[in-house]
A and B are shown apart, each in its own frame.
Chain A
Amino acid sequence: MFTTRTLAALAAATALALSLAACSGAADAGTGTPAVDAATATSLSAFGDLAALEDAARAEGTLNVIALPRDWANYGAVLDAFSEKYPEITITEASPDASSAEEILAADNLAGQDTAPDVFDLGLAVALSSTDRFAPYQVATWAEIPDALKEASGLYTGDYGGYMAVGYDPDAVPAPKQLSDLLGDEYTGKVAINGDPTQAGAAFAAVGLATVQNEGTVGDFQAGIDFFGELNQAGNFVKIDPTPATIASGETPVVFDWDYLNVGYGSSLAGERNWEVVVFPGTGYAGYYNQAVNKDAPHPAAARLWQEFLYSDEGQNLWLAGGARPVRADAMEAAGTIDADLLAALPAAPAETVVPTEAESAAGAALVGEKWAAAVQ
């Protein structure tokens, strides 16, 4: 492990020296169009219009994305649609299964190289702690994004989100009606969560859901930790990472995960295994991922064009097709541009919704770090 890290550091250092020279050359390679410094553009107006941005991005010819699993929130279709629309721009997909923290690590390690990520898709905690790596950019549809889900200057912007939900195999277990049902004997050795909450955002949200469903508040995750402690005591907690493979084999018949991911498991296993998704009534726990542009993006115009594409009606509807709730959903519903069938197919939203603030998630993370390992062993 140490070897890998240092190799990467060495490689980065060497490549930095090489690419510094390369970059200075590339910067002059204008194509006759009026020079726009894409790296400092904070909105479309810097380019003039979308067509000008498209030209600038085509001239760059490449877009580097990182940590976008093709089975996550329909990203496979999103990437393909972008490639089809802009065939001149090659998308390089790096480390699809990396965590948000690893995206930032990659940007640091590859800084200055033309393989560094251009754009990020990050959990809120990492987005909040990494703002010094981002270039502010406000997409054309900026006004339609709820203020609570974006950073005022456009350093990062909420993109899609969902509710923490439980997916289950109706042939293996009875349908859970509420969280406490999962403590019953029918669920012995059957309940998994997507990752370790001290590491993965989705697993952390599962503990958050258990907290608010057990009359706790997002300010104190103890109730949620206690719930999983009980689940473990009851012998119901399975501690393997659920994947489409473990779901297909029947190893993990009940999985806590974002509703859009659970819906995705169902559609990718259609015909192989039945998979239902339930968002428990009562208080729901929601979370949004965030887009950000790398301030040292090797392809600054392509990075911004990607943002415009994601926040266009087309991009937003593609996420919706993956079961995620796009950030412009309300505005698009009002304007009638959202795909109504897809919207109606989402699991029903609970009566009340909580999203933890930065301070609340930090406190929750600290508590989970301290208590989780002991609670579940």
Chain B
Amino acid sequence: MSARSGPQLSSSRRGTAAAFGLLPFAAYVLLFLLLPTLIAVGTGFLDETGAFTLDTVAALANPVVLHAFASSFGLSALTAVVGAVVGAVACYGLLGAREHGPLRAVVDSLSGVLAQFGGVMLAFAFVATIGIQGLVTVILRDTFGIDIFADGVWLYELPGLVLPYIYFQVPLMIITFLPALQSLNPHWAEANATLGGNRTTYWFRIAFPVLAPAFLGSLLLLFANAFSSYATAAALTSQGSQIVPLQIRSALTSETLLGRENLAGALALGMILVMAVVMSGYSQLQARAARWQR
């Protein structure tokens, strides 16, 4: 309207204007995250005729379902810990490389791509390399006499998911943890030396405590990432629906066990509860980590 534009708005009016900026995103989240979640969870409390019932949620106590939750939790925890440790060590190694050098640039962009390289592509990459007729399997068998499937084909079962999951967990760890490691202030090391500390005291008294919240936060993010993964497992394993996302698929699309669509909602509720606990832990740890990263 006049020359008096944005910068001169009062702070409260600027807040209102900023809120308008959030609108598209808020609407997006509402429509495509919150609403579907509510609908999915809502169906968990309905029976086939649409009446309210707690029976569907009670079916979560079924041994098959409990076992799937335990498997999902175990698989996610294992791959998160391995991914976090391997990823953190890789980050430490990268610190030695020049910040804008070619190595860092390559690893950065590669991690960005590979962290999203889950699903059918990843499953078939593993079938092609360590499947029964896979390149590596055949070389190990014919050249070195090692049969990795001597006791049965574990690749297409729950243990077979560990390697593919770690494959996308490590790059995700590098993306999320490297900034934290970079924020270690070199002056702290100098202060430590000035005060008579050595390398051990630097790592155990300064670096680890500072990095711990960021590390644990990344660990929880990795856990959530594995817990909600679906497509890799769906393409790799076809028997027993061993993890919760596969149980949800089974409840929705089965042509032999009918009328269990609402169980999918109850399973989703169970997953959301687990994720809510994990993500609230994550945000608290992030808040602590942020204090050191200003």
Contact = CB atoms under 8 A, between A and B. Distances in A.
Interface of A: 1-3, 5-7, 9, 99-102, 105, 123, 125-126, 129, 188-190, 193, 195-201, 204, 232, 235-241, 246, 249-251, 361, 365-366, 368-370, 372-374, 376-377
- In the complex, which of the residues A7, A9, A240 has the most CB atoms of chain B within 10 Å of its own CB atom? A240
B126 to A, nearest CB: 11
Contact of B254 (A1, A101, A193): A101
A242 to B, nearest CB: 9
B256 A2 contact: no
A100 B255 contact: yes
B153 A126 contact: no
A1 B249 CA distance: 9
Interface stretch (B91-99, B110-118, B127-135, B205-213): B127-135
Contacts of A235: 149, 151-153
Given A3-B33, A125-B258, A239-B156, 13 more contacts: A1-B245, A99-B254, A100-B255, A201-B255, A235-B149, A236-B152, A237-B153, A238-B153, A238-B156, A240-B127, A368-B257, A373-B242, A377-B157
28 contacts: A1-B245, A1-B248, A5-B36, A5-B39, A5-B40, A9-B39, A99-B253, A125-B256, A189-B149, A190-B132, A196-B238, A196-B239, A196-B240, A198-B241, A199-B241, A199-B253, A199-B257, A204-B256, A237-B153, A239-B153, A239-B237, A239-B240, A250-B133, A368-B256, A369-B257, A373-B241, A374-B67, A376-B240
Contacts of A125: 255-256, 258
Contact of B239 (A188, A204, A236, A376): A376
A189 B132 contact: yes
Interface in B228-265: 230, 236-242, 245, 248-250, 252-259
A333 to B, nearest CB: 31
Contacts of B39: 2, 5-6, 9
B156 A197 contact: no
B225 interface: no
A370 to B, nearest CB: 7
B32 interface: yes
A3 B149 CA distance: 38
A253 B240 CA distance: 21
A240 B236 contact: yes
A377 B39 CA distance: 33
Contacts of A200: 255-256
B140 to A, nearest CB: 14
B193 interface: no
Interface residues of B, number: 44
A5 B36 CA distance: 8
A196 B35 CA distance: 31
B268 interface: yes
Contacts of B237: 239-240
- In the complex, which of the residues A101, A232, A235, A239 has the most CB atoms of chain B within 10 Å of its own CB atom? A239
Contacts of A129: 258-259
B152 A189 contact: yes
Contacts of B163: none
B75 to A, nearest CB: 13
B93 to A, nearest CB: 36
A237 B237 CA distance: 12
Contact of A189 (B35, B37, B153, B257): B153
Contact of A377 (B131, B242, B250): B242
B27 interface: no
A126 B255 contact: yes
Given A101-B258, A198-B257, A6 B241 contact: no
Contacts of B64: 369-370, 373-374
Given A195-B238, A196-B238, A370-B64, A101 B40 contact: no
B158 interface: yes
A241 B245 CA distance: 17
Q: 4 nearest interchain CB pairs?
A: A235-B152, A6-B36, A373-B240, A239-B156
A246 B239 CA distance: 16
Contacts of A126: 255, 258
A377 to B, nearest CB: 6
A3 B36 contact: yes
Given A2-B36, A198-B256, A249 B241 contact: no
Nearest to B43: A5
A233 B249 CA distance: 26
A246 B153 CA distance: 14
B239 A239 contact: yes
Contacts of B67: 373-374
Contact of B230 (A1, A236, A238): A1
Contacts of B155: 240
Contact of A99 (B63, B156, B255, B268): B255
Nearest to B272: A2
A123 B255 contact: yes
Contacts of A372: 239-240
Contact of B256 (A7, A201, A370): A201
B224 to A, nearest CB: 16
Interface in B49-68: 63-64, 67-68
A241 B249 CA distance: 15
B256 A240 contact: no
Nearest to B133: A250
B259 A196 contact: no
Contacts of B131: 249, 251
Contacts of B258: 101, 125-126, 129, 365
Contacts of A190: 132
B268 A2 contact: yes
A198 B40 contact: no
A201 B157 CA distance: 21
Contacts of B127: 240, 246, 251
A359 to B, nearest CB: 14
A36 to B, nearest CB: 34
Contacts of B239: 193, 196, 237, 239, 372, 376
A372 B248 CA distance: 16
